[in-house]
Amino acid sequence: MDNNNKVCVDLIVPSIEERYNVFIPVGKKTLEVIYLLNKAISDITDGAFAMSDKLSLINAEDGTVYDVDNTFLENKILNGAKIILI
């Protein structure tokens, strides 16, 4: 997969007061991306950010909650987007 199939987003995780720049494949369902982000952040924080099935991705600019059944492309999440994982 080349970089044309990914977007770089600014991921904000308020519960642990962290931000991450991450590359996300645009063809993945948002629900799957949330799970993968949750797992990665849980691993790198040694569980400080616990696994949860109640997380959402939200547009930091306008508060839109992204549809978990859509891909990143369908949700129109572009390079440089600021998104919140809560």
Tell me the one-letter amino acid at 33: V
What is the CATH number for 51? 3.10.20.90
**Torsion, CA 26, CA 56, CA 58, CA 19, rounded to 10:** -80
Domain count, the chain: 1
Q: Does residue 2 carry a pLDDT above 70?
A: no
Over residues 36-66, the pLDDT tens digits come to: 999 999 999 999 999 999 999 999 999 999 9
List the domain range (segments joined by +) for residue 37.
Answer: 3-85
How much is the pLDDT for 46? 96
